[in-house]
Amino acid sequence: MRSAGILLPITSLPSKFGIGDFGSEALKFAKFLHDSGQKIWQVLPLTTIDSGCGNSPYSPTSAFAGNYLLVSPEILVDEGFLTNEELEKISAKYNFDKNPEKIDYESVREFKTEILNAAYKHCIKNNRLDSEFEDFKKNTEWLESFALFSVIKQVQGGAAWYEWPDELKHKDKNAIKRFKAEYSNEISRQEFYQYVFFSQVMKLKSKLEELNIKIVGDMPLYVTRDCADVWENPNLFDFDDDLNPVTVAGVPPDYFSETGQLWGNPTYKWDVMEAQNFKWWIARLKNLLTMFDIIRIDHFRGLVAYWAVPYGEATAKVGEWIDVPYEKFFAELKKNFPEMPFWAENLGIITPDVEEIRKNYKLPGMLVLHFAFGNPADNPYAPHNHTRDSVVYTGTHDNNTSRGWFENDATENEIKNFSSYIGRDVMDGYIFTSEVTRLAVSSVSDTAIIPMQDYLRLGAESRINIPSTPSGNWSWRMKPDAISDGLADRILAACKLYGRA
């Protein structure tokens, strides 16, 4: 089936509370998707983020825990976890109307923490921590370890786990027991944050199912070194006896970069994971599928072979490709997930073995139109070379908006080739955005995903992320009045015309 969808991070939704959340604006956008004939809402990772990593959702501090900044205060009130008076009293301290198109993460983090703490106290006072909360704790294997990790990190002044005192760094049983006893209330509060998060995200997913809309979410291949999972399971990562990395992740030099890309994430010990039947990965994917219907696997090629750089190297020039036991890994995935609800991020230089495993398991790959017009004839991203087993995008969260790309990034040759490709001169970013969107929706690719900024024809100021820049990203928000019935009708008409509605 041909289908269409829109890429819009949950954080980018409008909200009275400084950041998009799972509340009324998410439901409003879901209705807009339905009215415009869309079958997919693609979002970014929903796992925990950290200010030390620039609030990037691709540098999770847990592979499992949810980002509590996305919790809706309105739903907390509606469900009796908080009174409206309590919400208004706390909200009055913050001025989120000052810049409604940007997220101030510091203020939002303070606000959501205060709101959730008030909700937790309210529940304790009114005996609202019911059997559902207890069931959530009992059936969520990663929860206790994550909550413990979070509280130790707070007590240690935000220090990374590998800088903690040895008895906590190495999880000495007696030290951990004493800590749990002393900070039991704080640990319970962290568990409550996760209970509320997963309750809200699953209710949103249920509403989307009623509208016949699938939610697609991203899974970063790697986690950060200062991550709950790394602390809990250091044997799964390439560490020495003192828990220092031996190798870290990246990609080698190519025509984009003379020194490659040094990401610095710890690499996996695939032999250990194989001996455990890849249970950590299976658990991770099962957890993500409580939030999503389909998972886009970021850096998919790293599941076939990965570039390992010796820890301490200044660039990714020195390293080696190390094979993953991918045949056994994907066989285990197929066994646990027969429908294989995954998309493969296969952008860049991809070797034949990566494409072979993708095609064998019928995993759609990605095509990005911004990459198509340097030399379209033999370019796999150009529409005449598209294949059905793919997802076509105008751009992704790592690209400029289409208007921003035309106005700031595109070369004269790319603009000339694009004009020749569609048979008329394209003179400005507004026209380019309309035309490149039409090319995506008309493509033979089974699925077309358009970033919301392109439907709104927004410029570079609305870009989500500039790769390799440490700050200022992930903060764009859509204006409250941006979507309309007229826009939904125009999108629906295009999707009907090209068989996607």
Final residue of a structural domain among 312, 336, 360: 360
List, in sequence order, every residue forming a beta bridge with 254; answer none if it has no partner. 257
Whether 169 maps to a domain, the answer reads yes
Whether 67 maps to a domain, the answer reads yes
> Is residue 367 classed as helix, strand or coil in its secondary structure?
strand
Whether 258 maps to a domain, the answer reads yes
pLDDT score at 393: 98
Q: How far apart are CA 150 and CA 8, in angstroms?
A: 29
Those residues with Cβ within 8 angstroms of residue 197's Cβ, 6 or more apart along the chain or in another chain: 65, 66, 67, 68, 70, 71
Those residues with Cβ within 8 angstroms of residue 390's Cβ, 6 or more apart along the chain or in another chain: 364, 365, 366, 367, 445, 446, 447
Whether 223 maps to a domain, the answer reads no
Q: Does 288 lie in the same domain as 251?
A: yes
The domain that holds 127 is classified in CATH as 3.20.20.80
Instruction: For residue 395, give the nearest of 42, 10, 29 by alpha carbon.
Output: 42
How far does Cα 354 stand from its chain's mean position? 22
Query: How far from each other are the two terminal CA atoms of the chain, in whole angstroms?
Result: 10
Q: Name the residue type at position 146.
A: F
Whether 368 maps to a domain, the answer reads yes
Final residue of a structural domain among 360, 382, 402: 360
Q: Does 188 lie in the same domain as 89?
A: yes
Q: How many CB atoms within 10 Å of residue 444?
A: 14
- 282-288 contacts, C-beta under 8 A, 24 or more apart: 282/332, 282/333, 282/336, 283/64, 283/141, 283/142, 284/63, 284/64, 284/219, 285/219, 285/333, 285/336, 285/337, 286/336, 287/63, 287/64, 287/142, 288/217, 288/219
Q: How far apart are CA 289 and CA 292, in angstroms?
A: 5
Q: How far apart are CA 130 and CA 110, in angstroms?
A: 27
Residue range 364-391, pLDDT digits in tens: 999 999 999 999 999 999 999 999 999 9
Residue range 146-162, pLDDT digits in tens: 999 999 999 999 999 99
How far does Cα 235 stand from its chain's mean position? 26
> Is residue 40 classed as helix, strand or coil in its secondary structure?
strand
- Burial (CB count <10 Å: 0-12, 13-18, 19+), residue 135: exposed
Q: Name the residue type at position 49.
A: I
> Is residue 125 classed as helix, strand or coil in its secondary structure?
helix
Final residue of a structural domain among 326, 360, 394: 360
Q: Does 123 lie in the same domain as 200?
A: yes
> Nearest 10 degrees: CA dihedral of 65, 71, 75, 80?
60
Q: How far apart are CA 117 and CA 321, in angstroms?
A: 46
Q: How far apart are CA 33 and CA 325, in angstroms?
A: 40
Instruction: For residue 217, give the nearest of 199, 205, 233 by alpha carbon.
Output: 205
Check: CB of residue 489 under 8 Å from CB of residue 427: no
List, in sequence order, every residue forming a beta bridge with 310; answer none if it has no partner. 247
Residue range 17-26, pLDDT digits in tens: 999 999 999 9
Q: How far apart are CA 352 and CA 356, in angstroms?
A: 6
List, in sequence order, every residue forming a beta bridge with 379; answer none if it has no partner. none
Does the predicted TM-score (pTM) go above 0.85?
Answer: yes
pLDDT score at 349: 82
Count of positions (residues) in the chain: 501
Q: Does 376 lie in the same domain as 295?
A: no
Q: Does 241 lie in the same domain as 127?
A: no
Q: Does 414 lie in the same domain as 309?
A: no
Q: Which domain holds residue 294?
A: 233-360
pLDDT score at 254: 83
User: Which uninterrupted H or E stretch holds 296?
Assistant: strand 294-297
Check: CB of residue 354 under 8 Å from CB of residue 300: yes
Rg value, the chain, Cα: 23
Whether 288 maps to a domain, the answer reads yes
Residue with tokens 């048979």: 423
Instruction: For residue 461, give the nearest of 477, 439, 446 by alpha carbon.
Output: 477
Pairing outcome for strands 342-344 and 447-451: unpaired
DSSP 240: -
Q: Does 377 lie in the same domain as 421?
A: yes
Instruction: For residue 104, give the nearest of 475, 479, 403 by alpha carbon.
Output: 475
| Structural domain count of the chain | 3
pLDDT score at 126: 80
Q: Which residues of the chain have pLDDT under 70?
A: none
Locate 375 and state its tokens. 């030399």
Q: Does 117 lie in the same domain as 10?
A: yes
Pairing outcome for strands 261-266 and 294-297: unpaired
Q: Does 153 lie in the same domain as 248?
A: no
DSSP 409: I
Q: How far apart are CA 114 and CA 91, in angstroms?
A: 10
Pairing outcome for strands 261-266 and 247-251: antiparallel
> Is residue 61 classed as helix, strand or coil in its secondary structure?
coil
Whether 228 maps to a domain, the answer reads no
Residue positions annotated with a catalytic role: 298, 345, 398
Q: Does 165 lie in the same domain as 24?
A: yes
Q: Does 166 lie in the same domain as 140?
A: yes
Q: Name the residue type at position 458.
A: L
Q: Does 182 lie in the same domain as 259?
A: no
Whether 454 maps to a domain, the answer reads yes
